[in-house]
Structure 1
Amino acid sequence: MRREAGFTLLEMLVALVVLGLLLAGLAQASHFGIATYRRTTATIAATSDRLATFRALRRLIAQARPGQPPGTPHTLALVTTLPRAAALSNRLVFAEIGVTRSGDLVLAWRPAPTGPPLDPQAARAGAAHVEILARHIAAIELRYWWAARPGAPPAWHEAGPAGALPRLIRLRILPAAGQRPWPDLIAAPWRAPFAAGG
C-alpha cells in the first residue's frame, strides 16, 4: 500500500501544539518586556521629579533673605526670590512649604513688600499662588541649625530664628505608606550678615 504525499492528522496536531507553545512563550516574553519597560520609565520619571523638587527647594532656601517668621517643625516659611522664569516685576516673595491634607507637598507664595524688613513678618493675607511639588507625602520635618545666643555653639533646633536666617535648614520629607523614602535635604540659606549666630 502506497502512502499519499503530505502530513498525517497526528503530525499536523503535533505541529499545531508546538506552534501554540511557541506563540504562548512569545506572548509572555512580550508582556514581560513591556511591563519592565513601563516600570523602568516610571522609576526614571519619579527620580527625575524628585531631583527637580530637590533643586527647587534647595534654590528657594539658598535665596532666602531675612524677614521671615520663626521656622516651625512642619512648615517652612521664607522670604526668598523666585527664578527669572516667574516673570514678575518683583521676584521677592513670601514662600511657605508644607503638606496639604490630601498629601501634596506644596509651595505657596505671595509677593513680598519691597524694601528692607523691619521685623519678622508673617505672610500677608491675600491669594497665594500654589504649586504642587510632590504627591503622596505624609509630612515634612524641619530642623534649623543656628546659635541661640551670641557666642554659643550652633545646634539643631525645632524652631528657626525669627527674622534672621539659620546657618542650615534640614528638610526631611516623609512619604505616604508604600512610597519610596526621600533622602534628607540640607541646605544653607544666603549667608551675608543676616545669619543667626554668626
Structure 2
Amino acid sequence: MNGRPARSGGFTLLELLIGLVLLAITLTIAFAALRFSGRSLERTDALVGDIEEIRVARSVMQRQLAQARPLIHETPQRRMAFRGEPQQLEFVAPVPAQDGRLAGMYHYRLHFVVAANGTQLVLDYQPYIPDGTLDWREGHDSAVLAQGLAGGGFSYFGQARAQEAEEWIEHWPVAEAMPLLVQVQLAHGADRVPWPELVVPLRAHRVR
C-alpha cells in the first residue's frame, strides 16, 4: 500500500468550478445562436416583405399607367387630365373589373408623403369628372404602395417642346399630349431591398 489517501467518488472543488465555467460558456454560445437565429428570421421576414411590396407596387403602377388616357378636361382652359411633376403624377385610366374587363374611368394620383417611418408612395383615386372639378382634399380613396422609402421621384420622356428632340424631363409641360414613357424611381434605406427602376410605356399619347 502507498501512502496516498484514496479518492472519494465525488468531484473536487476545482472540477466543479471548471464544470460551471464550461456550462456558462455553453449556455452563452447557445443563447447567442438563438439570438442570431431570431435576427436571421427577422431579416428573412423583412426581405420577403420588401420583395412582396415591390412586386405589388410595380404591378399596380405598370398596369394603370400603361392604360392612361389622353383626356381633356371640359373647361375653357382645355387642360389635359395628365399632369406630370417630380413628386406627383396625375392621370386618368379605366379601373379593371373583377372579371378582367375594363370598367369606368378613374382619376389617379401617385405622390410621395413623408411619414414617421420614412417616405410613402401613395395612390389616390376617385371617379373621373370630365368638367375638371377635381378635389383631392376629400372624396377619394387611398392605398399605400410603398413605405419606409428614403426618397423617390417621377420623370417623363417625350417631345416636350416643338422642334426639339425627345428627352427625359421632370416636369411634363405639354397640354395636348402625354409623354411616351414614365419612369418611377424609388429608394429604400441601406438595409432594405433595392427598388428596381420602373419605366412604363404609355399606349396612348395624343388626343384624337
TM score, norm. by length of structure 2 = 0.74
Verify: 1:104 aligned to 2:94, yes or no. Answer: no
Deviation at 1:152, TM superposition (A): 5.4
Deviation at 1:127, TM superposition (A): 0.3
Verify: 1:130 aligned to 2:134, yes or no. Answer: no
**Residue identity matched to 1:41:** D
Larger Rg: 2
The count of aligned residue pairs is: 188
Q: The residue matched to 1:100 in structure 2 has which SS?
A: strand
Q: Distance in 1 between matches of 2:99 and 2:112?
A: 23
Verify: 1:3 aligned to 2:7, yes or no. Answer: yes
Residue range with higher mean Cα deviation, 139-148 or 12-21 = 139-148
Higher helix share: 1
Q: The residue matched to 2:175 in structure 1 has which SS?
A: coil
Residues 161 and 196, structure 1, Cα contact 8 Å, conserved in 2: no
Residues 47 and 193, structure 2, Cα contact 8 Å, conserved in 1: no
Higher strand share: 2
Q: CA RMSD in A?
A: 3.2
TM score, norm. by length of structure 1 = 0.77
Residues 104 and 136, structure 1, Cα contact 8 Å, conserved in 2: yes
Verify: 1:162 aligned to 2:175, yes or no. Answer: yes
Deviation at 1:70, TM superposition (A): 3.3
Gaps of 5+ in 2: 72-80
> For 1:57-76, what aligned pairs fall within 5 Å after superposition?
57-67=61-71, 68-76=81-89
Residues 107 and 128, structure 2, Cα contact 8 Å, conserved in 1: yes
CA offset digits 1:46-76 (Å, max 9, x no partner): 1221221111111111111111243223211
Gaps of 5+ in 1: none
Deviation at 1:131, TM superposition (A): 1.0
Residue range with higher mean Cα deviation, 179-188 or 21-30 = 179-188
